[in-house]
Amino acid sequence: MSKLKLLTDGFIKNNPTFVLLLGMCPTLATTTSAVNGLSMGLATLFVLVLSNIVISLIAPVTPDKVHIPVYIVVIASFVTLLQFIMQAYTPSMYETLGLFIPLIVVNCIVLGRAEAFASKNGVWASTLDGIGVGLGFTLSLTVLGAVREMLGSGSIFGWKFITGDGMLAFVMAPGAFLCLGYLMVLFNKIAKK
């Protein structure tokens, strides 16, 4: 498979949010604004790429029966590393994303790609796959966050274009589900062409 295809597949054909329907929990919870969605996506991307690399390296020497705990320890370590970095250098975003940063450990996307791809392919391919899927995830989260922010707070990336509040439902759970549903329809319609 061409290496470039690995990258672009993660965007559309294998888009984790709108096609694979993975990682729904952080998707719905952290997309209250475009910046939050973007940060969450990038945080996941960081963990995804690094764990893909390491797992593709150690997979050949990992006994089959313990491969899940071993992978999880690796993933959890990268998440902890991410936590240290965010706490030290981006404290306000760390507070905003809160609980969902450690939850990256159990984000299906990470373990899913590790099992489905990284454990069976070489380092370079796994890296590209991680970047591709991670960027696809970041893209969906940013788009969803932007839509919710526009409808719910009347702003884009923090720049408000109305006074007062928007439709508050979109800043809360119901709006998240509604937006996700309609975006999924739109995405799949465009992707089919």
Q: Give the binding site for other proteins (CB under 8 A).
A: 58-67, 69-70, 73-74, 76-77, 80-81, 84-85, 87-89, 91, 165, 167-172, 174, 178
Q: How far is the CB of 153 from other proteins (least distance, A)?
A: 10
User: Quick one: 7 or 28, whose CB is closer to other proteins?
Assistant: 28
Q: Residue 145 has what DSSP assignment?
A: H
Q: Residue 15 has what DSSP assignment?
A: -
Q: How far is the CB of 161 from other proteins (least distance, A)?
A: 16
User: Quick one: 97 or 135, whose CB is closer to other proteins?
Assistant: 97
The angle at the Cα of 128, spanning 49 to 72, to the nearest 5 degrees, equals 30
User: Quick one: 61 or 99, whose CB is closer to other proteins?
Assistant: 61
Q: How far is the CB of 88 from other proteins (least distance, A)?
A: 4
User: Quick one: 4 or 116, whose CB is closer to other proteins?
Assistant: 116
Query: Phi/psi zone of residue 157: left (φ > 0), alpha (ψ -120 to 50 degrees), beta?
Result: left
Q: How far is the CB of 25 from other proteins (least distance, A)?
A: 20
User: Quick one: 130 or 175, whose CB is closer to other proteins?
Assistant: 175
CB 173 within 8 A of CB 75: no
State the Cα–Cα distance between residues 157 and 52, nearest whole angstrom: 31
User: Quick one: 28 or 59, whose CB is closer to other proteins?
Assistant: 59
**CA dihedral of 128, 131, 133, 136, whole degrees rounded to 10:** -130
Is residue 159 helix, strand or coil? strand
State the Cα–Cα distance between residues 60 and 34, nearest whole angstrom: 40
Q: How far is the CB of 9 from other proteins (least distance, A)?
A: 26
State the Cα–Cα distance between residues 61 and 47, nearest whole angstrom: 22
Q: How far is the CB of 13 from other proteins (least distance, A)?
A: 26
